[in-house]
Structure 1
């Protein structure tokens, strides 16, 4: 059971939350409650807590100040915030401090309560899978002074770390990764495969397509590219405003869109898939990718349609369906609006998307 602490200065709201939500159904147990941030910190000193659920606007010590203290004292604790819609700026600050989600109080009566906890536990499971784990499990065991080549399991863990974006943002994670990347121990080929996957993963948030495009054949070259990529990531102010978990969720959403292009995708569905509440998914998606969800979905659909028109002889109706437009007439209308050509005309002219003016997709 994950241990939960609920913090809210409104006693009725606090009691209602504790009483009504089906905690045990999702492996959660409320072990305490507090009426403000100061009392919450006192409780945390005496009890082990895995998940903190806190209101933001509270007397004595606000939820934001409580979060700052918890981040410093208990960095691995998961945090969910309680809020009213008018607390939007506070919730944004909470997300930047690492909150994995929020519960809108005025929506609790409108949604199935189990959906709230399902979303939260899904986000927790996602983060746990992404965290760096120690390469050894036996406490107190000593490693030989001679550095032998990595075992396959250890190499796999290392490549998984490279795929996660924590090292791009956190100094400690970057140092730990560099310490593990020693020529005498690692195999380069799996790292290069991971590097290629990372490039693909980061595309939705990269405005400069030249990032990470150089040919790599040595570990030193890979290390130089990693340093360059990290410099780019940290120079993007919009990315620095959000937690690693939120950026990962948006990247996962972008990947989900690309993998399900032929389906009737909606914002609600994708937000639910990555475990983020609808309203904040929309806001964070636009901030992190620099484009709205609907514009991104349209761009990806149209880019895929261009590829199909160039590389296949599929009829237009099939291109339309595979790109996520079951209505061929609507597909042609959108295509013509963007490119000033019908799909059939585009194919007949033999235009290549690599030479085509894709600025239309940004309009």
Structure 2
């Protein structure tokens, strides 16, 4: 009987411990998310900026960070970012300014959190939203964010340079300022105030004629960015990829731009791990055109990561029948040459390009150190 009492008491103790452990006190506590790559600074003058747009973005970021003390604002931000209206975890501020959180508009809720009163909050919000590209994003680890209790830092990516910026300024919900490593990806979610990179692109395919295989589409079916950090910093989220194709006519005397298409990977992790287009789009076809007997059997495809900033750069892609050109040889008896100039901006990243001949096997893999994609027909 004593043994029975002992086992019953031990079982009761075990149940009691499990019951208490199942609902720890910390589950109801608010928590600041401070990345390992961030450190607090007290002398904010050392990180002072002078550009008006950046100053206004910083003031908006401070106001947004203070607003994160409110659970329903955090829930709203996570919900809107997860809608991926432009393919990435972005929230265009002008698009959601009138959206409701409870009985108030999003814009009003943010304005009310200014420590110096509503009038100051209105001034900060109205100044910032003059920037039509003003964007709030959660570029990394959004699925790891417990918005019911966690308050991330709010970083500012307006006015930064991917090549030169070492630290982003960031703010917490208590009004403290941090410097956040711009090169090393944080280990916890971060909210970023920046410019939306996906507003001004023509995403419509320019259809012409298929120069490779009569009756079939040419398409990209798989894309991967194995060294994503080299072409798109973490605070910009998923990359913006552009593909262009130049078609040469049958006599190799002229060339023309046959298609331009933007591709938006669904997330940063999909871009770095590789993804199949059919999982995220209505069709496998990233680009397509129809066969025309006047077109030659070759086209040149070029890829980029687009930041759309800086001076215009240009380069020539061409093919010479009978000799090597653009890294590929086209055999023939004549020496006709066709070439075409392609352009991009200085802050864009020019990635892999290749001349495709009709005899090239399908599928065909094209890659460099920063992008890999598979072509099929």
TM-score (norm 2): 0.26
- Max radius of gyration: which structure? 2
> Relative contact order (C-alpha < 8 Å, sep 6+): which is higher?
2
TM-score (norm 1): 0.27
| Structure 1 or 2: more strand by fraction | 2
